[in-house]
Each structure stands twice: as C-alpha cells, then as structure tokens.
Amino acid sequence: MITRLLLALLFFFVAAPFSAAQSTIGARISDQFDAPLPLLRPQVIVTSDLVTLGDLFDHAGMYAETPVFRAPAPGTRGRVPAHTVLDAARQAGLQIVDLAGLTEISVERAGVRLNAMDFEQMLQGALQTQLTNLRGENAGRYAITLASSPSPMMVPAEVANRLEVDLLVAPSGRSERFSALIRTPSGQEIARLDGRAEHRVMVPVLGRAIARGDVVRASDLRLQDVPFSRTLGTPTLLENADIIGQAARRSLRAGAPLNPDDLAAPLMVERQDLVTLVYRHGTLALTVRARAMDDGAEGQSIDVMNLQSDRIVRGIVAGHGLVHVLGPMQDVAVATRLSPSNSDTAERIQ
C-alpha cells in the first residue's frame, strides 16, 4: 500500500505541467528564504541590442545585467517560449525562477519612426549652428531643398534623440550645395542627404511708399524674408534701429530693402530758412536772426548769413530753426555789428 502511494506521488510530480511545478517549487523556496524569486514578465520592452535577465524577470538581483538574447529589430516584437527563457536563465546561472504559469512571453524592441521631415529638421539644425558660428545670431537661415526624399526609417528609441549630422560638403558663399550623413552616436550611418541650401534673411522693408523728406516711423516697417544674395550688391540695412527716425532722401517704394543711401538724418534746417543764431559763453547768450545757406540735420555744420551784417558765419544745427555759432565771441559780435552787452541781442543766463 505504501509503495503504491509513493509511486502515485512520483507520477504526479513528473506528469504535472512543467510551469505549474516550477511555480509551486519556486513559491516554497521563496517562502523558505523569505526573498522574492525572479518572476517572469509576460511583456518585455527593451531599449538596447541585447535582452538581459533584468529585462525578462522581476527581482533578477545580481543577474539583472546578464545578457541572454539578441533583441529584435527596432519597432518589432517576437514571441519566446517560457522554457527557452528558463534554459537561458539556467545557463546564465539563474537556476530557480518563477514562470508565473506562462508558456510564452512577448519581447519588443522600442523604436522611433523617422520620415523625411525629421531628417530635414536635423539637417536644418546643423546648418543653422554652422551659420550662427560664422555670422552671428542674426545671420538668417537656410531654406533646404533635398535632391531626393529619404525613405521612412525605424531607428532604436535610445538613439533617436542623439543622432548626429556630419556635414561632408557645407554650403558657402560660392555654392548652395550640401552633402551630409546622419549617424548614430556609435558612428552607424542612418541616411545620406544631398541638396541645396539657400541662405535667407529677414530684413526690414517699408510697408508703404515714403515721400522724399518723410521721416520713417516704426509703424512704417515690416519684416520680409529675402535671399541673402540680394543684400550683397548694395549694403542693406538689417536693423530697425538704423532706419527708424531717418528721413527719405528720395521717394521710396513699399516692399524694397533699404540701403544707407536711401536715408539720411531728418533736416532741422533747410536752405533759405530763417533761423535763430545763438552763441553761448558761460552765462552769456548772444542771439540774432539769420538765414540758412545750406540744409542741415541736427549736429551738422552749415553756413548761415547774419541778416544785420550780411556776413556769413559757420554754425552747428542744434534743433528746428536753431544754429549755434562756432568761433570766438568777438567774431560774433563783429559779425552782428553789436556789442555783447547790447540788451537786444545778449542776455545773461541765470
């Protein structure tokens, strides 16, 4: 009777499903040593070329970094029988595990799908960095035209944000042509891109026609995207600060880039204008009426005629209709045929 009972028990353990036996034995050992057994995961997603025991099992402990399989291609998955995983774990030294009743598991390699726009953005970033290094922050941008559109490609997720652009041929002032390689950090070539890159810049242009002598205001300007080559023949004004507050030397049409010859400081005095001539010396100011012999912007030196003596003196335009005289005080007094103490032309500044 005892012999038959022992044979029946032996048959039960041998014939029982392998995964169930493994889980039962594992649970007993886990209880005995009060530590969790490595537990097989039903779904595994990896981010490297190799699958480790730490990817396959929870609580893999010291065996977690041990590789056992090659990972599938990026963006794909495969099914692996549980007994294959068990054999690999035992060969790696992990003898007792809990298969959790699984007969197979899913193993996936994480991947990112890149299309032509993604490659173009990477190339744009590399070209922009080169352009900024050469010409500064306001250097403009490159408009890229690819010779052919690269095919969509799946790349490992762990390198998708770390791809590098190697510029084999960079655009220059003489040629717009470029050639570049997209590589992984380890140097693996992902794609080759060829094409042309047009250097373009944003320049301020007039939003309306401006008449000769009109002063340009901020509201008169707008930005326009133009090829950089259009700014090379004649120096083009690229900063609003160089334009706002300046006066048109000639009639200017809307939409055209501006150059330094188009603008000048606004006139404070025009030829033949009646102006006030002022000489200051300490607390004494001598003033007289005069006629401008030249046009003049603020700060410019012009000739003016003293209307009392018909003599011409040199002065600096100080504002609208106002000219400060250059020269010694006695020269001004002689030119006006007046004494600096004359109460009609001289005053003390308190």
Q: What is the overall mean pLDDT for the chain? A: 83
Q: Is residue 86 predicted with pLDDT exceeding 90?
A: yes
Question: C-alpha angle with apex 338: 335 to 340, nearest 5 degrees?
Answer: 105
Q: Any residues with CB less than 8 A from the CB of 270 and at least 6 apart, and which? A: 292, 295
**What does the pLDDT look like over 271-323, one tens digit per residue?**
888 988 888 777 777 888 999 999 888 888 989 998 888 888 899 998 888 99
Name the least confident of 57-71, 138-152, 200-214, 327-341. 327-341
pLDDT of the residue at 264: 87
Confidence of residue 328 (pLDDT cuts 50, 70, 90): low
pLDDT of the residue at 266: 86
Distance, CA of 304 to CA of 292 (rounded, Å): 4
Distance, CA of 205 to CA of 199 (rounded, Å): 18
pLDDT of the residue at 89: 96
Closest residue by Cα to residue 37 from 45, 29, 46: 29
177: which strand partners? 196
Distance, CA of 166 to CA of 151 (rounded, Å): 19
Beta strands in 251-311 (DSSP E): 263-264, 267-269, 274-281, 284-292, 296-297, 301-306
Confidence of residue 327 (pLDDT cuts 50, 70, 90): low
**Residue 70: its H or E element:** strand 67-70
Confidence of residue 265 (pLDDT cuts 50, 70, 90): confident
Distance, CA of 262 to CA of 212 (rounded, Å): 10
The full 3-state SS of 141-193, as one line of letters, equals EEEEEECCCCCCEEEECCCCCCCEEEEEECCCCCCCEEEEEEECCCCCEEEEE
Type of residue found at 31: D
Name the least confident of 3-12, 169-178, 192-201, 245-254. 3-12
**What does the pLDDT look like over 10-67, one tens digit per residue?**
333 333 344 444 444 444 444 444 568 999 999 999 999 999 999 999 999 999 999 9
Contact criterion met (CB below 8 Å) for 212 and 249: yes
- The backbone torsions φ and ψ at residue 142, rounded to the nearest 5 degrees and listed phi first, read -110, 135
Furthest-apart CA atoms within the chain: distance in Å: 152
Q: Is residue 126 predicted with pLDDT exceeding 80?
A: yes
pLDDT of the residue at 34: 58
Distance, CA of 92 to CA of 37 (rounded, Å): 16
pLDDT of the residue at 193: 93
Instruction: Give 219's Cβ-side CA count (13 Å radius).
Output: 0
Q: Is residue 221 predicted with pLDDT exceeding 50?
A: yes
What pairing do the DSSP bridges indicate for beta strands 322-325 and 274-281?
Answer: parallel
Mean pLDDT of 183-207: 92
Question: Which domains does the chain carry?
Answer: 2-109 (no CATH), 114-200 (no CATH), 202-220+228-264 (3.90.1210.10), 267-348 (2.30.30.760)
pTM for the model stands at 0.59
Q: Is residue 75 predicted with pLDDT exceeding 60?
A: yes
Closest residue by Cα to residue 216 from 186, 188, 239: 239
Mean pLDDT of 155-163: 93
Q: Which two tokens stand for residue 320?
A: 């609208």
